[in-house]
Structures are given as structure tokens and as C-alpha cells.
Amino acid sequence: MKIKFHFIPLLALVALFSSCDKDNYPSPKSTLSGQIVYKGEPIGVEDNQVRLQLWQPGFGKLAAIDAPIAQDGSYSAMLFDGSYKMVFPKGRGPFKTLVKDPAAKDTVFVNLSGDQKLDVEVMPYYMIRTPNFSGGESKVAVALKLEKIITGADAKDIERVSLYVNRTEFVSRATNVSVADLAGADIKDLNAINLTATVPTLSPVQKYVFARVGVKIKDVEDMVFSPVQKVDL
């Protein structure tokens, strides 16, 4: 029985040193950041709904490192220096990825050594142009144009255009206090789209809101969004 009592503290010491070894592993120190863009212009999306995936081969079991994309189209990931493959999960994003060559397809290769900025070029189905917001009398209105970017066999129709209003700068389908929708079938002219949303009574009282326009494309889960705009009521 004495032998068992000698083993217990020994095992505890082993566990302690093992834990310390794990805690002493180096942490990633380099930041890879940038934006999702079309011809250099950021693509707006819903916060943390679209993701980039980074793969680093050669380190045991291969697993993706997720880099969520913020609503302004920016992303950031803390990584170890090394070589990475950057891809979008299949079917995600209100855009098509660009195929650079038959071998690489739409994979972006990154050699990271210290902090690096890298914008990722994509081809959106539509771009929101010249959104002009106005507010007053508990209403928010917007006039905008839509530019159809992808045409031909890969083109897709608009399911709806939506005006989202929220009391904070995070504005999306999931975070809003008011929504106004316009069905794609009711759009007569892509150069003359107008929506108006009624803002409910806010408590505590707030004399301004934040708004943005989102475009839902048929058979595409993620929406493309305009930048967030502060609107006085």
C-alpha cells in the first residue's frame, strides 16, 4: 500500500511538468490581414458569416484555420510564419472566386514572414452603387443603383433587395430593428431602386440609427451589402 502513496505524488509531478510544457509552446506572432475586394473595392458582407480558410501542410493532422470576414469585408488571422493555402469554403460568399490557372484553381498561396497585408480579389454577382440614405419622422429611406457584374451562363437573378436598420453599427439580417424588402421581380430599373423603412420607438430614446442595404441573390446563401451609414432621424 505504501508504494501506491509514493506513486501518487510522482504522477502529480509528471502531470504538472507536462502541463507546463504545453503552456510553454510558442504562440503565433504574425498577422495576415486584408480585405475581400472587387477591383480594389471592398465587398460588404454579414459580420462573421463568410470565412476564409487557411491550410498549412506538414504539421501532422491537416486542419483549416478559419479567418472570419467582418461586415466591411476585412479579415485578420494570427499565424505562425510559414506557407499557407488560402481558400473560401465551397458555396460561401456572394461572389465567385477567381481561377488563376488550372493547377492552382482558386487557391491563394501565402508565404508568411512577419505581418502581411493581402487583399483577395473576387467576382461579385452584383455591386451596390451610390447608396444615398436619408432620415426623418421615424423613417429611413435609401436610393441606390445595382451593377450586374457576372453575366452570361454564370449570371444569377436578384431574389430581393433589403434595407436594414439597427441602433448599433452592426447591421444585418440577424441584427436589426427594422427591415424593408423589395422583391427582385418588382425591380424595373437597376439604376433606380428606392426603399423606406419605418423605425420603431427606441428605448432608450435615440435620435440616430445605422443602416445598410443588402442584396439577396437567387441560390446564393450570403448577401452582398453596402457600407454601414449613420442616419439622423
Domain count, the chain: 2
Q: Is the pLDDT of residue 20 over 60?
A: no
0.75 surpassed by pTM: yes
pLDDT tens profile 99-129: 877 777 888 999 999 999 999 999 999 999 9
Domain-embedded: residue 16? no
At a CB cut-off of 8 Å and minimum separation 6, what does 128 contact?
Answer: 44, 144, 145, 146, 213, 215, 224, 225, 226
157 close to 148: Cβ distance less than 8 angstroms: no
129 close to 144: Cβ distance less than 8 angstroms: yes
The proportion of the chain whose per-residue pLDDT surpasses 70, expressed as a percent, equals: 87
CATH of the domain at 183: 2.60.40.2060
pLDDT tens profile 184-222: 999 999 999 999 999 999 999 999 999 999 999 999 999
Pair (130, 148) in one structural domain? yes
Please state the rounded mean pLDDT for residues 134-147.
97
For 97, the domain range is: 30-124
At a CB cut-off of 8 Å and minimum separation 6, what does 183 contact?
Answer: 159, 160
Q: Is the pLDDT of residue 165 over 50?
A: yes
- Of the residues 124, 150, 179, the one at which a domain ends: 124
The proportion of the chain whose per-residue pLDDT surpasses 90, expressed as a percent, equals: 76
- Of the residues 124, 143, 169, the one at which a domain ends: 124
Pair (131, 113) in one structural domain? no
Give backbone dihedrals phi and psi of 6, rounded to 5 degrees, phi first.
-70, -35
Pair (130, 120) in one structural domain? no
Q: Is the pLDDT of residue 84 over 90?
A: yes
β pairing state of 30-38 and 120-124 = parallel
Pair (118, 152) in one structural domain? no
